Structure 1
Amino acid sequence: MREKTRLKAIRFPESLVRDLGKYVRQGKQSEFIIRATEEALLRLKQAEALKEAHGLFKPDEYPEFRDRESTEKWVRNLRQEADKRVSGWSEREK
């Protein structure tokens, strides 16, 4: 089911309107603007969430998040563990 829509009058710089017409075909421009707006809003929401989470993981409680190197090592270990589990699945299927 399609989401209900509303008309919103927005002013764009003329150069932006020209480029939109040049690179996005007629009939797809609204969809393009909607997707670009969704992506930009997602980035804003993620930035806000990061600000809210700042300081949540205390180094003494979560040493794996103490610094970038510790976090990268933690992620590498997680990926290696996952790879081992996945490889075990394929070996059992043989």
Structure 2
Amino acid sequence: MGKALRHKARLVAMGNTQRAGIDYGETFSPVARMASLRILLVLAAKFGWIVEQSDVVTAYLNGVLHDTVYMEQPPGFEDGTSDVLLLRRALY
């Protein structure tokens, strides 16, 4: 095993409390199955293909909100007040 070169973290705004059709419309995020990835790597090894990957780092981070959205402070971030927060940018 090697050493980790960098670390990543994401803050998620409790999406588990959202309800389909009320808090959001239909969403879709295509992700390859692990079996498909393994087949690709086997074929690449067999035929000497070069395998590369990429990541669009800021694809969703700066999304503009088209609706007015308020949220409560998530657990662990409360400051003792019962403030409700107005979101200015989308949280993913």
Smaller-chain TM-score bracket: under 0.3
- Point out the structure with the larger strand share: 2
Query: Could you say which structure has the greater relative contact order, defined with CA pairs below 8 angstroms and 6 or more residues apart?
Result: 2
The TM-score with structure 1 as length reference comes to: 0.18
- Point out the structure with the larger helix share: 1
The TM-score with structure 2 as length reference comes to: 0.19
